[in-house]
Structure 1
Amino acid sequence: MGAIKIFADSTCDLPPSWINDHEIGIVPLYVTFEDTNYRDGVDLKTEQLYAKVDATGKLPKTAAPSPADFISAFAPYVNEGRQILYISLSSELSSTYQNALIAAGEFPDGQVTVFDSLNLSTGIGLQVMKAVRAADEGKTVPEIVSLLERIRPKVETEFVIDSLDYLYKGGRCSGMQNLVGSLLRIRPVIKVIDGKMTPAYKIRGSREKALDQLLNNALSRVGEMDKDLIFVTHSLADEDALLLQKELQARTGAREVAISSAGCVISSHCGAKTIGILYTKAV
């Protein structure tokens, strides 16, 4: 057991086996259907989320963990004398970061450090894994934070949304935009820039064309990539994820190209068949 306990929240979308193997603490966000709250990844899985949306025709609301949730998660490790480093969902997207800061203030100075990933999904996960490895190497919390500050602006997060339906249901595009987009087979591409989800461009045509564009965008920057770890993260797009993994592994020379599945919070905003490629540029 190390002196430092690394925490993230459920939006980091790391594979469950990695979370278990590296003893990463996870604080779940909430997904709410009507008056019922579900803990992301604990009480509700992605397949169940989509079934509920199909049955009701409505998207759930999502909510950050409360300060009390963070206090309950952190306290056992603080009581063991361990330091905690929590890497959060972007503060531009959620109050999760702020609530964690409130919780950290309830512990002695220096016991809990909160770091804003300014990212989402495995854009967080990439930073979490760097922190885990640094902690395993005996780095201190300030040294790990310094490393993360260098890595954070170099995380590249780009994903293709397959359908405008969830953006429409979530109020992020109009009914007319949804109709026209569906007729023209338009798929928006989202990037994370300065901690915010930003529409980068649109791909018109087949899904295969969209996947080729996503792949080619990543491959065009192979020379800049940190070849340690690349993620292909998806929401119920297993076959496409395997295809992208195979191509990236063959054409980047990366040590590992890992596949991860998006949890309920990420999926509730993007919809089924969303898929992305996430990596870090070399520091």
Structure 2
Amino acid sequence: MSVRIIADSASDVSQELAKEWNITILPLTVRFGEEEYYDGVTLSNDGFYEKLIETDEFPKTSQIAPFRYEEAFCQAKEAGDEVVCLALSSALSGSYQSACIAAEEFEDTVHVVDTQEVCVGYYILVAEAVRLRNRGKSAAEIAEALRKLVPKVHVIAVFDTLEYLKKGGRISGAAATVGSMLSIKPVISIVDGAVAVLGKARGSKNGNNMLREYVKQAGGINWDYPVCLAYSGLSDVLLQKYIADSSELYAGHEDQFRITHVGATIGTYAGAGAIALAFFES
């Protein structure tokens, strides 16, 4: 019996990479006003950021409904596969609950894991699930290993602007205005499954310094596990600058980390110019 890995587009695993890894990525729904799209399927990441810039409509993403999980689980069952389903943090979305509801019909053949992550943190857990599957682990063994690894995931990001946090109601208009005037970059992490502000940096250079300091405080990067860097917007220039400025962290490991493009789930609040890093603690 083969193992089928199912996740969603909040992991920022592209449909192209999903084919390479032989996994299923269910797209979240993204709405701009009355227009509705499937994240990464009918709306590319570049297309999302173009709309974010061009339109006054603030985008909204919708969780995956139980019936869509059920469809994916049925397809796996018909193929004779067990399932490991990784879900977006239950503190941020109802997708995990939807997956659990759908899994009730499949007894012990579907194992649902609450990643307690989004974006790059979610990404590296999916990557680890793929690695364990390729090593011949069963669905139950993969799910158990992932649940033990969830608390060991570290995520840190620097947003380039406060504008979209303001539009999404996450901060006040006054705070966003002052922050923009002072070139304040919010430093973000995922704590207990939810988005948390770790601090505020004056300018991109200080933001990059905070990223490097966070890695050191966490005990460094465990290169025995997946590592991922990410950028938002239409260009990865800021991310490449961070990598160059942080060469001491990545020296000798240039071929061991992946770079992904932040999609709609986090891009809605980050806007363009954000960079992020996810790794497992040593």
Please report the TM-score for the alignment, with normalisation by the length of structure 2. 0.92
Instruction: Please give the per-residue CA displacement for 1:195-248, whole angstroms capped at 9, x wherever unaligned.
Output: 0101111112x2222123213432454546344332111102412222334565
Distance 1:153 1:246 in 2: 29
Residue equivalent to 1:234: 231
Q: Aligned residue pairs: how many?
A: 279
Residue equivalent to 2:264: 264
Measured after TM superposition, the shift of residue 264 of structure 1 is 1.6
Mapping 1:114-263, distance limit 5 Å: 114-204=112-202, 206-221=203-218, 223=220, 225-236=222-233, 237-246=235-244, 251-252=249-250, 253-254=252-253, 256-263=256-263
Query: 2:15–2:40: 8 Å Cα contact kept in structure 1?
Result: no
Q: Secondary structure at 2:186's aligned position in 1?
A: strand
Distance 2:14 2:31 in 1: 23
Residue equivalent to 1:59: 58
Counterparts in 2 of 1:231 and 1:245: CA distance versus 1, 3 Å:
farther
Name whichever of 129-138 and 207-216 sits farther off.
Answer: 207-216
Distance 1:23 1:190 in 2: 31
Q: Which amino acid aligns with 2:152?
A: K
Mapping 1:5-16, distance limit 5 Å: 5-16=4-15
Instruction: Please give the per-residue CA displacement for 1:125-177, whole angstroms capped at 9, x wherever unaligned.
Output: 11111111111111112211221122100000110111010001111111111
Mapping 1:35-54, distance limit 5 Å: 35-54=34-53
Residue equivalent to 1:34: 33
> Is 1:110 aligned to 2:122, yes or no?
no
Instruction: Please give the per-residue CA displacement for 1:77-97, whole angstroms capped at 9, x wherever unaligned.
Output: 211110111101100000111
Counterparts in 2 of 1:219 and 1:18: CA distance versus 1, 3 Å:
farther
Counterparts in 2 of 1:231 and 1:244: CA distance versus 1, 3 Å:
farther
Q: Which amino acid aligns with 1:150?
A: K
Q: Secondary structure at 2:126's aligned position in 1?
A: helix
Counterparts in 2 of 1:152 and 1:26: CA distance versus 1, 3 Å:
same
Please report the TM-score for the alignment, with normalisation by the length of structure 1. 0.91
Query: 1:231–1:257: 8 Å Cα contact kept in structure 2?
Result: yes
Q: Which amino acid aligns with 2:198?
A: A
Q: Secondary structure at 1:146's aligned position in 2?
A: helix
Q: Which runs of 4+ in 1 moved over 3 A?
A: 15-18, 219-224, 243-255
Instruction: List alignment gaps of at least 5 residues for structure 2.
Output: none
Q: What's the Cα RMSD here?
A: 1.9
